[in-house]
Amino acid sequence: MSSGQADEPPVVELDNAEIVYDRTFLAVQGVSMSADRGDIVALLGPNGAGKSTILKMISGIGRSERGEVTRGSVYYEGDEVTNAKTNEMVDRNVTHILEGRRVFEDLTVEENLRCGLYRGGRRIRYSKSDYDIAFEYFPKLEELLDVEAGYCSGGEQQMLVIARALIHRPNLLLLDEPSLGLAPKLVVDIYETLREINREEDITMIIADQNAKETLEVADYGYVLENGQVELHDPADVLMDREEIKEFYLGTSSEESRYSEIQHYKIRKRWK
């Protein structure tokens, strides 16, 4: 599935990374993973598995929460960027869409989009055509330009944060729970649009989501995390057919459904 060249280094690579918060809380231990150019990589797993933490340490924003890669390394396009600052990663065209639809609530939709042009202060002038890429994928936003973002619906806010990130012209887009709290139909739409953006704009993506089915449907490769470790990893189509995934994340096991047992197993696993 990978469209990357054999001799090209992966866009992102984690080599046996250990991530610690506040020097005390071990969030991720010994994770190795990579994303090739043009791929969509899915990071799956329950709450607290370390998905967000990994994204945050790639974009550098984790440092503002006292996160630190204490062992192992992170590489971006072959360069080591372990514990790099957010500014440096923005300069390298990495854009992070944080969990929870973080629109700037008291700014209008247009002003939110304008913020995507900032990039460390090099942009002073702007014109409406700067927003074209946003309207291409989310035409609805064009009607909402003067609306305060806080008054937009959940779906519109999700479109807005993705559009704002697109205006940022990323090479690598990190998405944290883009489907959280959205209606199932909207989730499908958002994921289809993400796939389209990935193909048309050649933007590599890492998507962390609990919604395994929709994510794997558009992803090229997937990692399943549990307790800060990689439990499984495979190409997305292979992963989707694995029994563990079917059972725990998709709920479509070929065997008789044993919902209570699954719940029980998951709880035990998390607290062990």
Among residues 170, 186, 65, the alpha carbon closest in space to that of 117 is found at 170
Q: Is residue 3 a contact residue for another protein (CB under 8 A)?
A: no
Q: Does 183 bind another protein (CB under 8 A)?
A: no
Q: Should residue 116 be labelled a site residue for another protein when binding is judged by CB under 8 A?
A: yes
- 91 near another protein (CB under 8 A): yes
| Closer Cβ to another protein, 3 or 87, answer by number | 87
Among 87, 252, 257, 263, binds another protein (CB under 8 A): 87
**At a CB cut-off of 8 Å and minimum separation 6, what does 123 contact?**
117
Report helix, strand or coil for 88. helix
Measured CA to CA, the distance from residue 138 to residue 157 in angstroms comes to: 11
Residue 114 in contact with another protein, rule: CB under 8 A: yes
Residue number with CB closer to another protein (103 or 187): 103
CB distance 2 to 34 below 8 Å: no
Could you please report the per-residue DSSP string of 160-196? Answer: HHHHHHHHT--SEEEEE-TTTT--HHHHHHHHHHHHH
Binding another protein (rule: CB under 8 A), the pick from 68, 111, 136, 234 is 111
Minimum CB distance to another protein smaller for 115 or for 262: 115
Query: Is position 68 an interface residue for another protein (rule: CB under 8 A)?
Result: no
Does 115 sit near another protein (CB under 8 A)?
A: yes
